[in-house]
Structure 1
Amino acid sequence: MRNKATLKCKVIIYENAFFGPVEINGVRLSETAVAKKYASQIAGVVQIYELDPGTGGADLRETMANKLTFDEAQAFSGFRLMRKQRLKMFERAIFNQLAAIGL
């Protein structure tokens, strides 16, 4: 008898460009044969765009180093206005995609 795992929930594909393009042989992860095969089980795709390492990337690294949420980063006295604004824009880009999926 063969065991077969069944996914009982929908998943979200996060395409995080932090380490470069999210591709397999030039094909976006969300467009691969595996993603197409299981399309009915994919709730959506969230694209996390690459941040400039000198500005937004540094902001996000600092936020993570301080173990802050986006809300905590907005209240953090160690962050100036521009840093908070870049983080807010990054947060909106992700949360708007999640909202479009229905989350």
Structure 2
Amino acid sequence: MEVNFILQGKGGVGKSLIASLLAQYFRPQEQPLLCVDTDPVNATFSGYKAFDVETLNIMDGDDINPRTFDQLIERIMTAEAGRMIIDNGASTFVPLCSYLLQNDVASLLKEGGHTVRLHSVITGGQALPDTIEGFASLCRNIGTAPVVVWLNEYFGKPVHNGKTFEESKVYEKNKARIHSLVTIPAVKPETFGQDMHKMLTRRVTFDEADASPDFTIMERQRLRMMKRTLFTNMGKAHL
């Protein structure tokens, strides 16, 4: 099984969007797909009816309930094939990373014949320093599992002091860990931006929006264009 953990310590930067994109991208590939939402505060991913997302409460107070997460690892280890997408909230980022580190989960899954892939998002604007630190923390604390970096340009391009992410020190330090980069491009707010917001707020997929009379002809056209762009970028990243 291929296990995709979506991990970032900063909230509101597009983790659940990435989870939904992965689910839509993987679903037509005729492999079993299991989606899990472990966010105890904003269970956005579980709001998508199309993915039959399982909500897993892994918290006990301010810490991970290890027995609950043990059960998830047990399910992964006994699975024969397919893919799993695990969306994690900002509030559980630190305890979940600690659990994965202390129990050497990445190595355990790899030895069991499973592929582990981490996904982290970096966004422009005010959240850039926090998302950079979240990515760096992920690389420091979780074994050698490859990391897919999603560059979310919704709040601006992730550029600091005139340098892109690929020109930054944190990229240079961790480039051996990076599987690939996927860009979520900036769009015109009053058209593509509003269309995406409408689709995401209603927790529907691109295909559901395209088939829905609640979306106008031009909204559906622009969403089809966005889907093509995003899926092309994901294909180039060899996901």
TM-score between the two structures when normalised by the length of structure 2: 0.39
Contact 1:12 1:45 survives alignment (8 Å)? yes
Aligned equivalents of 1:6, 1:58: Cα separation in 2: 36
Aligned equivalents of 1:93, 1:45: Cα separation in 2: 14
> Which residue pairs with 1:89 in the alignment?
225
How far does residue 21 in structure 1 lie from its aligned partner after superposition?
1.8
State yes or no: 1:26 paired with 2:162.
yes
Match of 1:15 among 146, 151, 158: 151
How far does residue 56 in structure 1 lie from its aligned partner after superposition?
0.3
Please tell me the residue identity of whatever aligns with 1:33. Answer: K
Write the deviation string for residues 24-72 of structure 1: whole angstroms up to 9, x where unpaired: 2221123211112211211111111111111000100110111111121
Aligned equivalents of 1:97, 1:14: Cα separation in 2: 10
How far does residue 22 in structure 1 lie from its aligned partner after superposition?
0.9
Aligned equivalents of 1:61, 1:79: Cα separation in 2: 12
- Which runs of 5 or more structure 2 residues have no equivalent in the other structure? 1-139
Match of 2:178 among 42, 64, 87: 42
| Higher RCO structure (Cα 8 Å, ≥6 apart) | 1
Please tell me the residue identity of whatever aligns with 1:73. Answer: A
> Which residue pairs with 1:73 in the alignment?
209
Please tell me the residue identity of whatever aligns with 1:100. Answer: K
RMSD of Structure 2 on Structure 1 (CA): 1.8
